[in-house]
Amino acid sequence: MGKVGFIGTGVMGNAMAGHLIDAGFELVVFNRTAEKTDNLVERGALCAATPAEVAQQCDVVITMVGYPSDVEEVYFGQEGIIAHAPADALLIDMTTSSPSLARRIFDEAQAAGKHALDAPVSGGDVGAKNATLTIMVGGEQTAFDRALPLFEAMGTNYAIHGSAGCGQHCKMANQINIAATMMGMAESLAYAKAAGLDPMAVINTLSGGSSQTWSLSNYGPRVLKGDFAPGFFIKHFIKDLRIALEQADEMEIDLPGTMLAKQLYERLSDQGCADLGTQAIVKLYFGEC
């Protein structure tokens, strides 16, 4: 495998790119805030001035940006990576985006003689830092096989779920589940506090039983310490829930729990909490918002 490009070195992407360096891949990086690539450059990565410049140098380009609009900006047009990547290049979007956009990227890449995978991830900042991400992939099996060494460097659970867009559909199922467990964590801890119980003792007990969830075990202790630093931003979670509900409407299914979660997170965002981590939902239940 030749050089690997990595576009988007924020909370998640920086750690993911670092694991690729550790695995021996030669990396070319870009981020709109250039300072967020400094630590990677110190470890041997090359820094490009634009996404197009990344694509021109690399056989594989990974993107991990914020919103579907950012994905569109990076991939399409005369300065997009589809236009500038070499023939037979593999383009892997690991942003959580819409299935329809993933299919568009796949189609335009294929028309240009290139390959594309949608490969959103789950695991938050902890998973990114520990290289234990779950990676959900849509696209062709041959492209997945080609990308496998990269996925192995960043995660511990990776699977292809079907054609282009299916990785994003799997990620939507993931976000729907997380929305429910985050509300469950917040309501459980609010109830424990109101009943006069020791919330940390409750977390320890519940985490050993059938009500154990990743949200409770990992975010519960954080919120009791007042730690609302973003492993995943509220503003990005709202974006994901909107996509999930849009897809549900298209498939004519009703998701009332997901709708409620979106409304709660929008309340938090409206009160200035958009840049906090998703665990900050407890602020609504603890009377802190």
Catalytically active residues are 171
Give the position of tokens 């576009």: 7
- The distance from CA 273 to its chain's CA centroid, rounded to whole angstroms, is 19
Given a contact cutoff of 8 angstroms between Cβ atoms, the answer to whether 4 and 58 are in contact is yes
Q: Which two tokens stand for residue 73?
A: 């900006």
Given a contact cutoff of 8 angstroms between Cβ atoms, the answer to whether 127 and 121 are in contact is yes
* Radius of gyration, CA atoms only, the chain: 20
Query: Would you tell me how many other CB atoms lie within 10 Å of the CB of residue 144?
Result: 22
First to last CA, the chain: 50
Query: Quick check: helix, strand or coil at residue 239?
Result: helix
Given a contact cutoff of 8 angstroms between Cβ atoms, the answer to whether 139 and 118 are in contact is yes
Alpha helices in the chain (DSSP H): 13-22, 38-42, 51-57, 68-75, 81-84, 99-111, 124-130, 141-154, 166-194, 199-206, 214, 220-224, 234-251, 256-268, 282-285
